[in-house]
């Protein structure tokens, strides 16, 4: 009887369940990392080439070709300005088939070893870029993600590219696992109970696009973690008031975010918003005087100056040259007419690459999701309209903070997309759904708060989370078993 | 006591339904697991129309036992909807062995349409006659296209358009047969083999299999514990 009680209590403990969420996520993700063939992640070949480029000796004592070997073709990585090792490995592994149309398949051997695998493991090809203007990702020399991935590349430098490449994928998975943990802390500190927080963290961990994206070699794996860390700092500041602990969490997340990817600048914007909010609150409570306001203002100006030195803020927010203002207005109009029709596909591929196969399962799940989000929106409207909120839901300040993060990210991504549009005259970058994954926790918190506001009953709310977990885990399994595995292997 | 019983019943029901759904998912995956013969190339060399009452007839020799699926590539169209029906006959096109219909709303030419059926056990080196029909959603719709390719291999026996009454020597449908193994265990082993290729040692063979098993157990275990 005592032993049964102990067993019963043990599996209900939040610590145990959290460990299960994190372990389950980790193993699921590593399995997914194995399912995706080499170079098949989003922009993965470019990011891996960035790591190899950073690993090259300072002195390039090999011949750099005067011009690229071939004109670039999307499916053929050997036509990109990548290292010889990446190019030859792409040819040897049949990457053209896996990146091409969905009816193309790799040429499989009848064994556990690919037809050209031994040749790849012989390491005959130089991991050096020999074409002019190597194809690297973003702020390659200063991206924190690439710097960390570089250490793994160096550590396994004597191993085959297969070991190095997939080890870096496992590193991305590790970052993802930490992110899920941060999501749990974030949700719990927003005011949900431990059980509800575990349910929501588990639901997010099964989100198909997030799951597949976090297996890739891509700096977004670190950016999503830093967004979660920043949001946690922000929530703690709203909960406890601003103190050195939550200030240092937010500042370090924002700075590391800036050193990871340009999108990190969004965190700086949200941070300033929070500083203004806290300053206003302190003034209202008569806890801060003029010297505090002066100190804050000086800090903000210093931070803006530091960001300007890195990003050239003036260039970032304006168009240059004659007729710039009218040009901006016209360009904004053209941009909106080009990009607005793509919002539907962007919100679809936020959930996964669901159009790979000719079946209707994904459409069914997407419809359920959109209907749920519609009701959540109605719920959020009621939540803000009513003076009194259900006691199991977070306070309004947290919800406003999450709305702020989402708006900031949407604005930042679309603004940058517009800047590229003005430069090239077309949607060269676009706004695929994955660009909005950094605010996924905020998104889910808003959805479930809206649902909770409609249901008004704690038990019903918990049951809705359980249903959400069942559906999301099913959605994930359908994506892997019905779409991803058949696409590559069957 | 009654409340506890009711509570227990609801949770149990939810748990049972969830486990049943997971089982169904994996069972369907195991059933659908079959491996295309990639020596049959799928390309877009040319295309022919599929008539409403006149099938396109493809004869081919199966390379393995347990023929269980035919994947076919069709031409893209947003304006056609209906269903394709594939009938599998013996060599003389007289004895119907299997049939499968696949409905569609629009046609994509980026991936194949898969006609899966219960496996034909002793299919190796036997010739089969495939009849491909189209049934439109409404009579006014145009006819869809199916891709055909140059195919001089001896396993490609013939391609005949019964609508146009035209033979296409040296050509075949842009299609691929797929085969299962003798047991589901061998199917999973072959899948493990395919995924293991071009992976490092720690993501191959037994390591990969253990990883998958752990991932499934932990994931389902988590859902169960959170329901309970």
Helix segments in A241-342, DSSP class H: 244-258, 265-284, 290-311, 313-317, 324-339
pLDDT of residue A321: 46
The Cα-based distances of A340 to A343, A344, A387 in angstroms read 5, 8, 35
Q: CB distance B218–A33 less than 8 Å? A: no
The per-residue pLDDT for A311 is: 63
Average pLDDT over residues A336-361: 76
Across the interface, which of B29, B35, B197 has its CB nearest the CB of A112?
A: B197
B214–chain A Cβ distance below 8 A for any pair:
yes
Q: Please report which helix (H) or strand (E) contains residue B128, including its range.
A: strand B127-136
Contact A11 B197 (CB under 8 A): no
pLDDT at A322: 43
- Quick check: A35 pLDDT over 50? yes
Alpha-carbon torsion (B117, B123, B125, B126), positive or negative: negative
Q: Does A459 contact B at CB distance below 8 Å?
A: no
Q: Is B213 on the interface with A (CB under 8 A)?
A: no
Q: How far is CA B61 from CA A450, B93, B116, in A?
A: 59, 13, 17
Cα angle A398, A401, A404 (rounded to 5 degrees) comes to 155
- Model ipTM? 0.91
d(CA A375, CA A385): 15
Quick: pLDDT tens for A301-312: 777 776 676 666
Whether the per-residue pLDDT at A289 is higher than 80: the answer is no
The rounded distance, in Å, linking the Cα atoms of A88 and B154 is 33
Whether A482 and B29 lie within 8 Å, measured CB to CB = yes
- Lowest-pLDDT choice from A413-422, B1-10, B79-88: B1-10
CB atoms under 10 Å from CB of A276, counted, come to: 12
CA nearest A27 in B: which residue?
Answer: B215
Residue A445 has pLDDT above 90, yes or no: yes
Which residues in chain A (96-115) have CB-CB distances under 8 A to chain B?
101-114
CB contact under 8 A, B212 and A31: yes
**Each residue of A107-150: pLDDT tens digit?**
899 999 999 999 999 999 999 999 888 888 865 557 999 999 99
Burial tier of B177 (Cβ tally within 10 Å: 0-12, 13-18, 19+)? buried
Taking only the tens place, the pLDDT of each residue in A328-346 is 666 777 777 777 777 777 8
Shortest CB distance from A103 goes to which of B32, B42, B197?
B42
Residue A368: pLDDT over 70 = yes
The pLDDT-based confidence of A63 (bands split at 50, 70, 90) is confident
Is the pLDDT at B20 greater than 80? The verdict is yes
**A contacts of B19 (beta carbons < 8 Å):** none
> What mean pLDDT comes out for the span A165-175?
98
Q: Is B26 on the interface with A (CB under 8 A)?
A: yes
Q: Which of A105, A109, A490 sits opposite B33 (nearest CB)?
A: A490
Question: Which of A400-404, A408-412, B141-145 has the highest mean predicted lDDT (pLDDT)?
Answer: A400-404
Helix, strand or coil, per DSSP, at residue A388: coil
Range B203-207 contact pairs with CB under 8 angstroms and sequence separation of 24 or more:
B203/A30, B203/A33, B203/A34, B203/A166, B204/A112, B205/A112
The chain B residue lying nearest A93, using CA atoms, is B198
- Report the predicted TM-score, pTM, of the whole model to 2 decimal places: 0.91
Chain B residues touching residue A21 (CB < 8 angstroms): 222
- Asked if B81 is an interface residue toward chain A (Cβ–Cβ < 8 A), one would say no
């Amino acid at each position: 009887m005592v032993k049964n009680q102990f067993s019963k209590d043990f599996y209900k403990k939040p610590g145990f369940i959290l460990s299960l969420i994190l372990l389950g996520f980790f193993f699921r993700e590593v399995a997914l990392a194995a399912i995706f063939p080499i170079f098949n992640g989003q922009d993965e070949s470019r990011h891996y080439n960035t790591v190899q480029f950073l690993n090259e000796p300072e002195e390039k004592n090999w011949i750099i070709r005067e011009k690229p070997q071939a004109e670039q073709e999307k499916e053929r990585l050997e036509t990109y300005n990548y290292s010889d090792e990446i190019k030859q490995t792409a040819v040897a592994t049949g990457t053209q088939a896996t990146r091409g149309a969905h009816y193309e398949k790799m040429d499989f051997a009848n064994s556990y070893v690919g037809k050209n695998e031994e040749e790849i493991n012989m390491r005959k090809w130089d991991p050096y870029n020999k074409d002019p203007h190597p194809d690297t990702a973003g702020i390659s020399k200063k991206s924190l993600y690439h710097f960390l991935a570089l250490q793994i590349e160096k550590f396994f430098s004597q191993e085959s590219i297969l070991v190095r490449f997939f080890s870096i994928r496992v590193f991305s998975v590790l970052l993802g696992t930490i992110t899920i943990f941060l999501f749990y802390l974030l949700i719990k500190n927003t005011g949900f109970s431990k059980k509800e927080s575990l349910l929501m963290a588990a639901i997010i961990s099964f989100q198909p696009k997030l799951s597949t994206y976090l297996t890739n070699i891509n700096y977004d794996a670190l950016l999503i973690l830093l967004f979660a860390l920043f949001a946690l700092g922000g929530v703690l500041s709203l909960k406890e008031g601003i103190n050195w602990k939550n200030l240092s969490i937010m500042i370090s997340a924002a700075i590391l975010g800036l050193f990871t990817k340009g999108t990190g600048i969004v965190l700086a914007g949200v941070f300033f918003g929070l500083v203004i909010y806290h300053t206003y609150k302190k003034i209202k409570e008569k806890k801060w005087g003029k010297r505090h306001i002066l100190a804050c203002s000086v800090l903000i100006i210093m931070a803006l100056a530091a960001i300007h030195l890195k990003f050239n803020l003036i260039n970032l927010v304006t168009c240059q040259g004659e007729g710039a203002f009218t040009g901006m207005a016209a360009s904004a109009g053209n941009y909106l007419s080009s990009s607005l029709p793509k919002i539907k596909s962007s919100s679809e591929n936020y959930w996964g690459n669901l159009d790979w196969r000719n079946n209707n399962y994904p459409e069914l799940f997407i419809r359920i999701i959109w209907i749920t989000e519609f009701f959540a929106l109605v719920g959020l409207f009621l939540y803000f309209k009513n003076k009194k909120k259900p006691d199991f839901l977070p306070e309004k300040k947290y919800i406003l903070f999450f709305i702020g993060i989402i708006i900031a990210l949407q604005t930042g991504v679309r603004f940058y997309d517009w800047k590229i549009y003005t430069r090239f005259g077309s949607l060269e970058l676009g706004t695929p759904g994955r660009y909005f994954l950094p605010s996924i926790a905020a998104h889910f918190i808003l959805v479930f708060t809206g649902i909770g506001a409609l249901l008004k009953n704690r038990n019903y709310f918990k049951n809705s989370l359980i249903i959400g977990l069942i559906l999301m885990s099913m959605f994930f399994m359908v994506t892997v078993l019905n779409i991803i595995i058949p696409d590559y292997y069957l | 006591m009654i409340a506890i019983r009711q509570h227990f019943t609801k949770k149990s029901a939810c748990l049972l339904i969830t486990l049943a759904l997971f089982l169904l998912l994996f069972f369907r995956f195991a059933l659908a697991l079959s491996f295309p013969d990639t020596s049959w190339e799928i390309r877009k060399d040319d295309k022919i129309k599929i008539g409403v009452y006149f099938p396109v007839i493809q004869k081919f020799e199966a390379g393995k036992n347990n023929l269980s699926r035919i994947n076919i590539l069709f031409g893209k169209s947003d304006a056609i909807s209906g269903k394709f029906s594939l009938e599998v006959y013996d060599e003389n096109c007289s004895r119907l062995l299997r049939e499968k219909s696949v409905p569609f709303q629009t046609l994509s030419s980026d991936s194949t349409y898969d006609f899966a059926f219960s496996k034909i056990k002793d299919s190796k080196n036997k010739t089969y006659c495939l009849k491909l029909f189209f049934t439109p959603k409404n009579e006014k719709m145009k006819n869809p296209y199916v891709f055909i390719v140059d195919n001089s291999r001896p396993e490609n026996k013939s391609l005949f358009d019964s609508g146009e009454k035209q033979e296409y020597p040296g050509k075949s449908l842009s299609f691929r047969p797929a085969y299962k193994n003798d047991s589901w265990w061998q199917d999973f082993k072959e899948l493990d083999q395919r995924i293991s290729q071009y992976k490092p040692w720690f993501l191959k063979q037994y390591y990969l299999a253990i990883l998958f098993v752990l991932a499934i157990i932990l994931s389902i275990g988590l859902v169960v514990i959170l329901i309970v």
